[in-house]
């Protein structure tokens, strides 16, 4: 069966520090991969979408970047965190349209 691993669960980072969040999917091949953010009062916001290795679509301009070095690995990064980067980050994957998307447990990032 398919599983998705996202870590860490919580993270507290100082302003200006780098960020790396990792997401790994098991049990499927060539998934679509997504990074979402939930910030207070702003709903679910799609940050990045990937259909394959090295193929990343950025949905909103921001201080973050994403990479997909392997088929089932999706990494969210920042060189210098801002206070506004605080939020709940969710990784997800999908393959078939009739299955919908499957989510990791999320990472609570607090930038101080």
Partner 1 sequence: AQSVTQLDSQVPVFEEAPVELRCNYSSSVSVYLFWYVQYPNQGLQLLLKYLSGSTLVKGINGFEAEFNKSQTSFHLRKPSVHISDTAEYFCAVSGTGGYQKVTFGTGTKLQVIP
| Distance between CA atoms of residues 95 and 101, nearest Å | 8
| Distance between CA atoms of residues 58 and 65, nearest Å | 8
56 or 101: CB nearest partner 1 = 101
Residue 87 as a binder of partner 1 (CB under 8 A): the answer is no
43 or 61: CB nearest partner 1 = 43
Stretch of 12-20, 42-50, 68-76, 77-85 contacting partner 1, by CB under 8 A: 42-50
Q: Which residues contact 49 (CB under 8 A, 6 or more apart)?
A: 32, 33, 34, 56, 57, 59
3-state SS, residue 78: strand
Q: What does the binding site for partner 1 look like in residue numbers (CB under 8 A)? A: 30, 32, 34, 36, 42-46, 49, 51, 88, 90, 92, 94-98, 100-101, 103-106, 108
């Amino acid at each position: 069966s398919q599983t998705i691993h996202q870590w860490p669960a919580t993270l507290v980072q100082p302003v200006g520090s780098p960020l790396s969040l990792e997401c790994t999917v098991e049990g499927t091949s060539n998934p679509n991969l997504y990074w979402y953010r939930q910030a207070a009062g702003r709903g679910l916001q799609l940050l990045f979408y990937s259909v394959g290795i090295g193929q990343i679509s950025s949905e909103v301009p921001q201080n973050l970047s994403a990479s997909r070095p392997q088929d089932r690995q999706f990494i969210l990064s920042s060189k210098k965190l801002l206070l506004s980067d605080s939020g709940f980050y969710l990784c997800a994957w999908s393959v078939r349209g009739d299955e919908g998307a499957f989510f990791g447990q999320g990472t609570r990032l607090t930038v101080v």
